Amino acid sequence: MIKAVTGTKDILPSDIPKWKHLESVVQTIFKNFNYSEIRTPIFEETVLFARGIGEETDIVGKEMYTFLDKGQTSITLKPEMTASVVRAFIEHSLASKQPLYKLYYISPMFRQERPQAGRLRQFHQFGVEAIGSESPILDAEIIQIAYDILRRLGLKDLLVKINSLGIPESRENYKKELRHFLNDKKNKLSEDSQKRFDTNILRVFDSKIETDQELLKGAPILLDYLDEESKIYFNIVRNILREADIPFEIDTKLVRGLDYYAKTTFEIISGKVGSQNALCGGGRYDLLAEQLEGKPTPGVGFAAGIERILLACENEKTLSLPEEKLDFYIVTVGENLIEKVYNAASILRRRNFSVEFDYLDRSAKAQMREANKLNARFVIFFGGDEYSNGYFSLKNMQTGEQKQFPLEDLKTIVIE
RNA sequence: GUGAGCGUAGCUCAGUUGGUUAGAGCACCAGGUUGUGGCCCUGGGGGUCGUGGGUUCAAAUCCCAUCGCUCACCCCA
């Protein structure tokens, strides 16, 4: 049997209602905050991600779906959206059309990792990118958007974590201090952490190994090394969040894995999913546009994992979706009236009613069972008797009441 | 890339120390009402027990390999 590729999932008809519900909540809130949708291609030239996300990151280093096309160009299925959006922003000179763009997207992403709970190779994200302003209000705003969406989906077991990485200069100072602090303990660190000591020392904090965390006790704290401007900036973000009633926790170890972040970073985690507990994450990336050879343009954004959010919703049992209803089910039996039934259905369908009937030549009882399963509000009986006498029977499935009407009434009938 | 666990009907699972035609519930189809649902009853279809090899008189059951899935590490949405 040919199966879906490892780490990919079919979204079956029975899954669709919850996806539609999530999408509708997401779109409502983006509209409330006046964000406009952007759609970019599913693949890009590999260099975009290599330069935008950073050569040293795991995503670029070992997780991308990369291949050569027939023109020998290296192509990569997008592993995230920020680089693509900024690329489109630069390519179409959007900055010259209006100074600030508030954009959102919903799109599949691809990363070649080992699948586990909450982690797929093709997964879906929604997210925003606000490009063109360095106001801390936007940092707070996007955190609120993410938080509000999750709350509106009914999630409660949430933790908002925020941090500030400062500007590159202050971060460099801090790294120097941290390196100094860890230097004589270096050979006691785990192998991974020793590697990080050299490549990206901040990420030593991410280690889950106890001995590493022991060694980190008493380490200098990033927030203490922020430059004055970044400190004030971070204070404003926190104040706005407090006024918006968004509970948060400062996590000085929250260093996101993508190279382009500066100043604010944040993450919202759920206690109801597996170990992949980040439902969304993001931050400010004021230097990214330059890295992609655009004019210096500040930006801030987040991405949220749809499959993880739906998993959290299922585990918190937050989704009570309205049942799909069908307006009419037409039951026929005996005489071969299928074409007449089809015509009757057409009349109603063109009047915008949802209508179904039996294509499988099943018994009247089976048809009624089907009507019931489909939550039909009304059943139309249309058999030999009715047809030869020019009428149909209409049964209200809720009350069980049944009446007869002339066939002509199909063109005018109104329900409820 | 590393580690652990699990593969029996479409789905969730049972299958005793290896023993003869492999079961249940749900779902599906039909009948119980010669044209009428939800409950109930009866019957039916559907499985080379993941695959390949081995041990044995005999393997779903024991051994090996392989593939797949799941979870965790890593990393992240």
Nucleotides of B under 7 A from a protein CB: 1-3, 28-33, 35-38, 68-77
- Strand B lies under 7 A from the Cβ of residue A209: yes
Domain final position from A261, A290, A316: A316
Instruction: pLDDT band for A21, please (50, 70, 90 cuts).
Output: very high
pLDDT at A92: 96
Strand B lies under 7 A from the Cβ of residue A344: no
Which among A316, A345, A366 is the end of a domain?
A: A316
Distance from residue A322's CA to nucleotide B46's C1', rounded to whole Å: 33
pLDDT at A135: 97
pLDDT of A236 reads 97
Per-residue model confidence (pLDDT) at position A193: 78
Same domain for A238 and A264: yes
Assess whether A271 and A391 both reside in one domain. no
Query: Do A260 and A160 share a structural domain?
Result: yes
The answer to whether residue A51 scores a pLDDT higher than 80 is yes
Among residues A288, A316, A344, the one where a domain terminates is: A316
Give the CA A402 to C1' B39 distance in Å. 21
| A23, A11 Cβ separation under 8 angstroms | no
| Assigned domain for A39 exists | yes
Which nucleotide shows the minimum CA-to-C1' distance to residue A4? Answer: B68
Of A301, A305, A258, A254, which Cα lies nearest the Cα of A100?
A: A301
pLDDT at residue A361, rounded to an integer: 85
Q: Looking at the structure, do residues A256 and A401 belong to the same domain, yes or no?
A: no
Strand B contacted by A212 CB (< 7 A) = no
Q: Is the CB of A8 under 7 A from strand B?
A: no
Q: Are residues A311 and A231 in the same domain?
A: yes
Same domain, A310 and A370: no
Check whether residue A122 and residue A37 sit in a common domain. Answer: yes
Task: Say whether both A147 and A292 belong to one domain.
Answer: yes
Rounded, the Å distance between the CA of A362 and C1' of B43 is 18
Question: What's at A282, amino acid-wise?
Answer: G
A123 touches strand B (CB under 7 A): yes
- 3-state class (DSSP) for residue A330: strand
CA of A3 to C1' of B16 (A): 36
Quick one: pLDDT at residue A346? 96
Write out the DSSP string of A312-325. Answer: HHHHHT---PPPP-
Q: Is the pLDDT of residue A196 over 80?
A: no
In a domain? residue A295: yes
pLDDT at A334 over 80: no
**Would you say residue A179 lies in a domain?**
no
Give whole-number Cα distances, A299 to A58, A289, A290, in Å.
23, 8, 11
pLDDT at A197: 80
Q: Among A166-170, A293-297, A335-339, where is mean pLDDT lowest?
A: A335-339
> Residue A317: pLDDT band by 50, 70, 90 thresholds?
confident
Is residue A364's beta carbon less than 7 angstroms from any atom in nucleic acid strand B? yes
Same domain, A276 and A354: no
Confidence category of residue A265, pLDDT binned at 50, 70, 90: very high
Q: Are the C-beta atoms of residues A289 and A90 closer than 8 Å to each other?
A: yes
Q: Look up residue A407 and give its DSSP letter.
A: G
Least confident interval from A130-144, A263-277, A325-339, A345-359: A325-339
Asked whether strand B has any atom less than 7 Å from the CB of A95, the reply is: no
Which of A249, A287, A289 is CA-nearest to residue A266?
Answer: A249
Number of domains in chain A: 2
Q: What are phi and psi of A171, to 5 degrees?
A: -70, -40
| DSSP single-letter state for residue A190 | -
> Which residues in chain A, range 53-82, keep a C-beta under 7 Å from any nucleic strand B atom?
57-59, 63, 80
Q: Quote the pLDDT of residue A183.
A: 81
Segment A71-86, tens digit of pLDDT: 999 999 999 999 999 9
**Quick check: A259 pLDDT over 80?**
no
- What is the reported pLDDT for A181? 86
Structure confidence by residue, pLDDT tens digits, A369-414: 999 999 999 999 988 778 888 899 999 999 999 999 999 999 998 8
**Is residue A161 in a domain?**
yes
Can you give the C-alpha Rg of chain A in angstroms? 28
In the three-class reduction of DSSP (H, G, I as helix; E, B as strand; rest coil), residue A50 is classed as: helix
d(CA A58, CA A221): 25
**pLDDT digits 0-9 by tens, A206-243:** 777 777 777 777 888 888 889 999 999 999 999 999 99
Judgement on whether residues A307 and A331 belong to the same structural domain of the protein? no
Query: Quick check: A393 CB within 7 A of strand B?
Result: yes
Instruction: Share the mean pLDDT of chain A.
Output: 91
Nucleotide whose C1' lies closest to the alpha carbon of residue A209: B73
Do A260 and A366 have their domain in common? no
Spacing of A372 CA from B17 C1' in Å? 50
The answer for residues whose C-beta is within 8 angstroms of residue A152's C-beta and 6 or more apart is A25, A29
Summarised one tens digit per residue, pLDDT across range A163-177 is 999 988 888 888 888
Residues A343 and A392 in one domain: yes
